[in-house]
């Protein structure tokens, strides 16, 4: 019987994740672990399948920095010393500036050059007995075209849609699942029926996704490629299976939320 390399729990051949500690059982290139919960993950994952912590990008780098012990330079490393001669150079510069100022003062008083005129301070206008009305606080600013969402923020927003879909699959919550799709999604009712039927036949053990090739079309539309790694168990035969699905997804912003407008399986 095969065993998990992390907790030694026995597992079936072909199983992708440990049923006890969640460790990824088939590392592709070396070991990679979640910086937040320590679970072994795949190199392609962007979110941990146990705690949803980011594994790539700036957010993952920040969490990895918080996890390290100790702050500042490593013990025994001396701070870089200032360049030699820097202090002498500064002293010489100060002396030189002082000499130039002294020469200018001498010339000013020996040659009768008047000092430069100082612009008078602007005086407040005389009161006319009326107070000018301030501009209305709620005066609208000039409206321009909506600025596109930055790429990093857009990717986080689209990933939140797939995270909600993943949670709905694991809980088998059809309302939450369909809320990830636009009201104009083609064959929306058929999608609902197919998903409910799939949940009757299979239990989803693990769902992991990656999102890349994010491309904003305008402020309310974007496309991206999503790759899903899925482990299921047949509820009747208890047979385990793993599969990988790749989709080209078009997202649309409806109100304040992004939803899936259409998708195409490409692998």
Q: Supply the pLDDT for residue 264.
A: 92
Domains and CATH numbers, the chain: 1-65 (no CATH), 151-265 (3.10.450.50)
The DSSP secondary-structure symbol of 10 reads: E
Q: Supply the pLDDT for residue 54.
A: 84
Beta strands in 24-91 (DSSP E): none
Q: Supply the pLDDT for residue 70.
A: 45
Of 203, 191, 194, 201, the closest CA to residue 261 belongs to 191
**One-character DSSP codes across 206-248:** EEEEEEEEEEEEETTEEEEEEEEEEEEEETTT--EEEEEEEEE
**What are the CA-CA distances from residue 74 to residues 44, 69, 80, 255 (Å)?**
31, 11, 13, 50
Q: Supply the pLDDT for residue 260.
A: 96
- Please identify which residue in the block is written with the tokens 């699959």: 169
Q: Supply the pLDDT for residue 1.
A: 67
Show the tokens assigned to 104.
């200018």
Q: Supply the pLDDT for residue 102.
A: 83
Provide the residue-wise pLDDT of the chain in tens; the chain has 267 residues. Answer: 677 877 878 877 777 778 887 777 766 555 778 888 878 777 777 788 788 888 776 555 555 555 444 444 444 444 444 445 566 778 888 888 888 888 887 877 666 545 455 444 545 455 455 555 555 555 444 444 455 567 789 999 999 999 999 999 999 999 999 999 999 999 899 999 999 999 999 999 889 999 999 999 999 999 999 999 999 999 999 999 999 999 999 999 998 899 999 999 997
Q: Count other Cβ atoms within 10 Å, centred on residue 153.
A: 9
Q: What does the alpha-carbon distance between residue 177 and residue 127 come to, in Å, rounded to a whole number? A: 67
């Amino acid at each position: 019987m095969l065993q998990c390399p992390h907790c030694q729990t026995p597992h079936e051949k072909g199983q992708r994740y440990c049923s006890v500690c969640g460790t990824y059982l088939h590392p592709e290139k070396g070991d990679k672990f979640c910086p937040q919960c320590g679970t072994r993950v795949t190199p392609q994952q962007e979110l941990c399948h146990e705690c949803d912590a980011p594994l790539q990008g700036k957010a993952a780098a920040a969490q990895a920095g918080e996890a390290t012990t100790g702050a500042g330079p490593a013990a025994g490393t001396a701070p870089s010393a200032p360049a030699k001669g820097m202090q002498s150079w500064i002293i010489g510069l100060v002396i030189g500036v002082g000499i130039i100022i002294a020469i200018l003062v001498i010339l000013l008083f020996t040659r009768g050059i008047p000092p430069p005129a100082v612009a008078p301070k602007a005086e407040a206008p005389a009161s006319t007995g009326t107070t000018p009305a301030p501009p209305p606080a709620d005066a609208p600013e000039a409206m321009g075209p909506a600025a596109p969402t930055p790429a990093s923020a857009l990717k986080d927003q689209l990933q939140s849609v797939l995270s909600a879909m993943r949670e709905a699959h694991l809980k088998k919550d059809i309302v939450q699942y369909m809320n990830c799709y636009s009201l104009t999604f083609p064959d929306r009712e058929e999608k609902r029926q197919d998903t409910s039927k799939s949940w009757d036949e299979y239990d989803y053990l693990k769902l992991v996704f990656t999102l890349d090739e994010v491309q904003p079309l305008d402020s309310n539309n974007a496309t991206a490629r999503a790759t899903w790694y899925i482990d299921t168990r047949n509820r009747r035969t208890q047979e385990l299976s793993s599969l990988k699905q790749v989709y080209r997804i078009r997202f649309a912003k409806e109100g304040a939320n992004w939803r899936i407008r259409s998708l195409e399986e490409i692998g």
